[in-house]
Amino acid sequence: MTPPAPARDRLRVAIQKSGRLAEPARDLLAAAGLTWRESRDRLFCYGESLPVDLLLVRDDDIPGLITAGVCDLGVVGRNVMQEYELGRESAGHEPVLSEWRQLGWGRCRLDIAIPEDQEWTGPAQLAGLRVATTYPRLLERWLRDQQVEAQVVPLSGSVEIAPRLGQADVVCDLVSTGGTLRANQLKPVTTLLHSEAVIAGPAAGLEDSRGELAELLLGRMDGALRLKETRLLMLRAPRAGLPEVTALLPEGGEPTVLSVDGTDEVSLQVLCHSAVSWQRLEELKRAGASHLMVLPVEGMLV
């Protein structure tokens, strides 16, 4: 049984000390207005702008720290969280974690990869083979779902080289660009899980003042994530050509249209929820727009 979390009036968030999720996590929290005073060992950051502290740890440790109540939330890969929960399930425990937010970065796939010179005919092809992976429980679940009996070979690292060393016949590993697989003469053939960075937290929620702090922090993070790709597009256009111009505007909010004194033109500005390409700007110009500007949005309250 999981012990109850100790009463605290400060929120603790665990993130990777190093790794591909570490810097984006700190950048996101900083964009949410957090500042810290870092300990000498660089394992703990005391929140100064808000009562929100950071623990800098290994990503594999984050789910267990949340379960034990050492921290309240964590930025972790979906693959790590699900592997942890499957481990608890195999030991007869109930799930304790849930995804509080999907963060949209750190995307990757957990794929089966086979030698490049082989043809893929389907999951049944794996029957009787040795499959090397650092995610044995996710692989075992998938094999059960596919009704395939194969030998799962757990490895702690360098999974891609396992076939060349004779440790396995195929691999099940995380893939982002696929470059490491190609370097080892392997190719991805099927996906077990689509992963990304998520905010993991207790499925039962948080009590006392930490619940309010978590709601405040997540609200700020939601805003920071929206603003990351938000741009302010400003332009001028002939009033008569306004319908053609507005039809070409990128996805976003309703445009604000103002008259330009002494002319038959209007000034238009709109918040766009994604990058505005050069091609789109050129299309707007051909439709009659001029004085086009794309500006970053540093902050917004609505």
CATH code assigned at 247: 3.30.70.120
Q: Which residues pair with 110 in a beta bridge?
A: 174, 193
How many domains does the structure of the chain reveal?
A: 3
Residues 125 and 236 reside in one and the same domain: no
The answer on 36 and 116 residing in a single domain is no
Cα–Cα distance for residue pair 146/140, rounded to 1 Å: 10
| Higher-pLDDT residue of 229, 123 | 123
211-248 burial, b at 16+ Cβ within 10 Å, e below that, comes to eebbeebbebbebbbebeebbbbebbbbeeebeebbee
pLDDT in tens, 135-186: 999 999 999 999 999 999 999 878 999 999 999 999 999 998 888 899 999 9
33 within 8 A of 58, measured Cβ to Cβ: no
User: Which helix or strand (DSSP H or E) is residue 256 part of?
Assistant: strand 256-259
DSSP SS3 for 123: helix
Higher-pLDDT residue of 226 and 244 is 244
In whole angstroms, what separates CA 110 from the centre of its chain? 15
Q: Is residue 3 part of a domain?
A: no
Q: Which domain holds residue 121?
A: 108-195
Q: Do 114 and 158 belong together in one domain? A: yes
- CATH number of 87's domain: 3.40.190.10
1 falls in which pLDDT band (50, 70, 90)?
very low
pTM here is 0.78
Does residue 2 form part of some domain? Answer: no
The two three-digit tokens of residue 68, written as one number: 């034990």
| 63 assigned to some structural domain | yes
Asked if 138 and 247 sit in the same domain, the reply is no
Please give the Cα distance from 100 to 163 (Å, whole number): 38
Interval 121-138: pLDDT, tens: 999 999 999 999 999 999
Residues 92, 205, single domain; the answer is yes
Q: Are residues 98 and 203 in the same domain?
A: yes
Token pair for 27: 């950048």
